[in-house]
Amino acid sequence: MSIRVSRRWVLAGLGAAAVPGLGSGVAQAGPPAASLRPRMRVAGFASGGAESLIARFGLPGDVACSVADVSSGKRLESIHGAAGMPPASVAKIVTSLYALDRLGSGHRFITRVIATGPVNNGVLQGDLILAGGGDPTLDTDALADMAARMKRAGIREVRGQFRVYEGALPYARSIDGSQPAHLGYSPAVSGIALNFNRVHFQWTRGAEGYAVAMDARSDRYRPDVTMARMRVAKRSLPVYTYRDHNGIDDWTVASGALGKGGSRWLPVRRPALYAGDVFRTMARAHGITLRPAVVTDRLPGGTEVARQTSAPLREILRLMLKYSNNLTAEMVGMSASAAGGAAPRSLRASAEEMSRWAGRTLGMGQTRMVDHSGLSDASRMTPDDLVTALVAVRKTGVLRPLLKPFPMRDARGKLIKNHPIRVDAKTGTLNFVSGLGGFLTAPDGTELAFAIFTADLRHRARSKKAQDEVPQGARPWNRKSKQLQQKLIEHWGAVYRG
């Protein structure tokens, strides 16, 4: 059964949830912490509450959190819960609700192949259009299937141009331009995507030097691409350089960083050319030769000869939340904005529209997003805002089944089987930024909604200037932040059960 999120069901829950937050600052850290092994005795947690726990834990930087009873909407604790913090990928919770409201849980994205002229004796007397429809999950296998269907439709030759339409969504060269250029989780965004707008780079060292390949691999195919190329440069640093060379993603990599061999996914900056490059290869495998792709943001009329339909939105969102895919968040977020009226002018304009929607519909009046994925640290969300929204939407049952179970671990990071607290939540991680928001069920069945945001923005700003992928100190800081999150969950599950 299709479940459509509407403003009515959200507003119905806000009466109970709209309890004002406590405090306006951000908790500062104090001295070192104790073991993470869960102790469900209430007496072990009650003294000083969450604020005392945060102070004892000693995480450098800022901490803010909030928790409420789902059934009554009563705010149980709010430690500087009105402080705006970068939510990181916890933002994808709001993006999911926005997309469900605007598009519906059963919405499917459609990619089409269109012929602009008649087909006579297998010859298309016109242009062929590969038309993106905002599908973030399109992959090489899907393009291969579309090429096969195009042949079955009777096309053997194309006399006109081959065009790729990307205008269903606005183009952005990178989700967050402050990220290092080679990071695959900050690719370009447009109305068409392929393989999450990532190209596979592989290298092998031989007697004559390095052999490199750039391809669009999938489960069934490994087509080489021509719109991205890699050259090995004799140096140690920087590891990668990038430039746009006449529409080609032109990369170099330092030989001193490669070792004997390996591979990684690199971001694509020209998604339409990437999709067009691969589709030409797949068409050629069926004996159909296409001219080099020409990108267009105007969709001409014509006859559909093949299509690819995505999975329902609810499944796309479940996988997005599970794997925290940034491109999916941006594409479904911008599609949701477009569904509400005029197409957004930019990714940021779409995020601003989502923020206004969250204020009107979810009661998140202090949330200000600059993207849909949480990749930028310029976004701000308050724990009180998120908890208010979580309490409201829990009454519908639409969100918690989409969230990933959050495993509880001991002090050494080992999974604790059969832990008495069950948690379904969304994590969020940037260097020196961490977040967690969702639902916990205490041992007696009491259900709580919670949000925890931590950030050391001073160290993050310093690391961004250095353009380090994993700056010094980031991993231990983020690890300690996650340990604090678990301690807070154990505290709330013990103190507020029943």
For residues 178-204, average pLDDT: 97
Taking a C-beta distance cutoff of 8 angstroms, is the pair 153, 288 a contact? Answer: no
Long-range contacts of 250-257 (CB under 8 A, 24+ apart): 251/182, 251/201, 253/201, 253/203, 253/212, 255/210
Rounded to whole angstroms, how far apart are CA atoms 415 and 13? 35
Query: How is residue 473 annotated by DSSP?
Result: T
Going by pLDDT thresholds of 50, 70 and 90, the confidence category of residue 48 is low
Residue 449 belongs to what H/E stretch? strand 447-455
Task: Provide the pLDDT for residue 112.
Answer: 98
User: Which residues partner with 204 through β-bridges?
Assistant: 211, 261
- Reported as a single tens digit per residue, the pLDDT across 250-279 is 999 999 999 999 999 999 999 999 999 999
Residues whose CB falls within 8 Å of the CB of residue 246, separated by 6 or more in sequence, listed in order: none
154 in Cβ contact with 122 (< 8 Å): yes
E-only strand ranges, 375-418: 404-405
Helix (H, G, I), strand (E, B) or coil at 78: strand
Question: pLDDT grade, residue 29 (50/70/90)?
Answer: very low
- Give dist(CA 94, CA 336) in Å, integer: 12
What separation, in Å, do the N-terminal and C-terminal C-alpha atoms of the chain show? 33
* pLDDT, tens only, 113-163: 999 999 999 999 999 999 999 999 999 999 999 999 999 999 999 999 999
Asked if pLDDT for residue 478 goes beyond 60, the answer is yes
DSSP SS3 for 185: coil
pLDDT band at 41 (very low <50, low <70, confident <90, very high): very low
pLDDT at 104: 97
Q: Which range, of 1-5, 58-62, 166-170, 296-300, averages the lowest pLDDT?
A: 1-5
Which 8-state DSSP code applies to residue 196?
Answer: G
Kindly report whether the global pTM for this prediction surpasses the value 0.85. Answer: yes
Q: How far is CA 79 from the centre of its chain?
A: 27
Inter-helix orientation angle 7-17/347-362, to 10°:
60
Residue 399 has pLDDT above 50, yes or no: yes
> Residue type for 116, please?
T
DSSP string, 131-160: E--S-TT--HHHHHHHHHHHHHTT--EE-S
The Cα 471–Cα 85 span in angstroms is: 21
Torsions phi, psi for 252 (to 5 deg)? -125, 155
278-311 confidence digits (pLDDT tens) = 999 999 999 999 999 999 999 999 999 999 999 9
Q: What pLDDT was estimated at residue 366?
A: 98
Confidence of residue 220 (pLDDT cuts 50, 70, 90): very high
- Give the separation between CA 258 and CA 231, rounded to whole angstroms: 12
What is the structure's pLDDT at 411?
77
Tell me what pLDDT residue 36 has. Answer: 38
Quick one: 242 exposed, middle or buried, by C-beta within 10 A (0-12, 13-18, 19+)? middle
- Contact assessment for residue 180 and residue 197, using Cβ atoms and an 8 Å cutoff: no
Measure the CA–CA gap between 102 and 107, rounded to whole angstroms: 10
Contact by Cβ (8 Å): 26, 64: yes
Q: How many residues does the chain have?
A: 498
Burial of 401 (0-12, 13-18, 19+ CB in 10 A): exposed
- The count of other CB atoms within 10 Å of the CB of residue 407 is 12
**Helix (H/G/I), strand (E/B), else coil: 405:** strand
Q: Which of 303, 305, 300 is nearest to 286 (CA)?
A: 305
Please identify which residue in the block is written with the tokens 């916990």.
440
Q: Which residues contact 336 (CB under 8 A, 6 or more apart)?
A: 95, 98, 99, 101, 102, 103, 354
Question: Which of 239, 135, 247, 117 has the alpha carbon at shortest distance from 192?
Answer: 135
Tokens of 280: 């030409």
